[in-house]
Amino acid sequence: MKKYIGAAVLLFFFLLFVPILACLGEGFAPKSNQSDSSKTQNINADDTFDLLDESTGEIITVSARDYLLGAVASEMPPSFHSEALKAQAAASYTYAYRRRAQQEATPDESLKGADFSVNTAEKEGYFPQDQAKEQWGNQFDASWARIEDAVDEVLGKLIVYQGEPVLAVYHAMSGGTTETAQVYWGNDVPYLQSTDSPGDALAPQYETASTFTTDEMKQKLISSFSDLTLGEDPSTWFGQPELSAAGTVTSIPVGDQTVSGRDLRTALGLRSANFSLSLADNVFTVTVHGYGHGVGLSQYGADYMARQGSKWQDIIRHYYQNVEITTAPGYSDTLSDTTSG
- The answer on pLDDT for 256 being more than 80 is yes
Q: Count Cβ atoms below 10 Å from residue 218 Cβ, excluding itself.
A: 17
Instruction: Please write the tens of the pLDDT for every residue from 58-70.
Output: 999 999 999 999 9
Averaged pLDDT score across all residues of the chain = 88
Tell me whether strands 170-171 and 297-298 are parallel, antiparallel or unpaired.
Answer: parallel
Instruction: Please write the tens of the pLDDT for every residue from 87-137.
Output: 999 999 999 999 999 999 999 999 999 999 999 999 999 999 999 999 999
- Give pLDDT, residue 235: 97
CA 173 – CA 199 distance, rounded (Å): 9
Task: Summarize the confidence of residues 212-234 as an average pLDDT.
Answer: 97
- The answer on pLDDT for 33 being more than 60 is no
Q: What is the SS3 string spanning the chain?
A: CHHHHHHHHHHHHHHHHHHHHHHHHHHCCCHHHHHHHHHHCCCCCCCEEEEEECCCCCEEEEEHHHHHHHHHHHHCCCCCCHHHHHHHHHHHHHHHHHHHHHHHHCCCHHHCCCCEEEECCCCECCCCHHHHHHHHHHHHHHHHHHHHHHHHHHCCEEEEECCEECCCCEECECCCECECHHHHHCCCCCCCCCCECHHHHHCCCCEEEEEEEHHHHHHHHHHHCCCCCCCCCHHHCECCCEECCCCCEEEEEECCEEEEHHHHHHHHCCCCCCEEEEEECCEEEEEEECECCCECEEHHHHHHHHHCCCCHHHHHHHHCCCCEEEECCCCCCCCCCCCCC
Instruction: Please write the tens of the pLDDT for every residue from 142-167.
Output: 999 999 999 999 999 999 999 999 99
Instruction: Please write the tens of the pLDDT for every residue from 156-208.
Output: 999 999 999 999 999 999 999 999 999 999 999 999 999 999 999 999 999 99
- The answer on pLDDT for 38 being more than 50 is no
- Give pLDDT, residue 333: 75
CA 186 – CA 178 distance, rounded (Å): 15
Task: Summarize the confidence of residues 213-230 as an average pLDDT.
Answer: 97
Report long-range pairs for 141-150 (Cβ below 8 Å, ≥24 apart): 142/78, 143/73, 143/78, 143/79, 144/69, 144/73, 144/78, 146/78, 146/82, 146/85, 147/69, 147/72, 147/73, 147/78, 147/85, 148/69, 149/82, 150/72, 150/82, 150/85, 150/86, 150/88, 150/89
Task: Summarize the confidence of residues 233-254 as an average pLDDT.
Answer: 98
- The answer on pLDDT for 23 being more than 70 is no
Helix 312-319 and helix 82-105, axial crossing angle in degrees, nearest 10: 50
CB of 97 closer than 8 Å to CB of 68? no
The number of residues in the chain equals: 341
Rounded to 5 degrees, what are φ and ψ at 177? -140, 130
Give the pLDDT band (50/70/90) at residue 5. very low
- Give pLDDT, residue 340: 36
Task: Summarize the confidence of residues 313-330 as an average pLDDT.
Answer: 97
pTM score, two decimals? 0.85
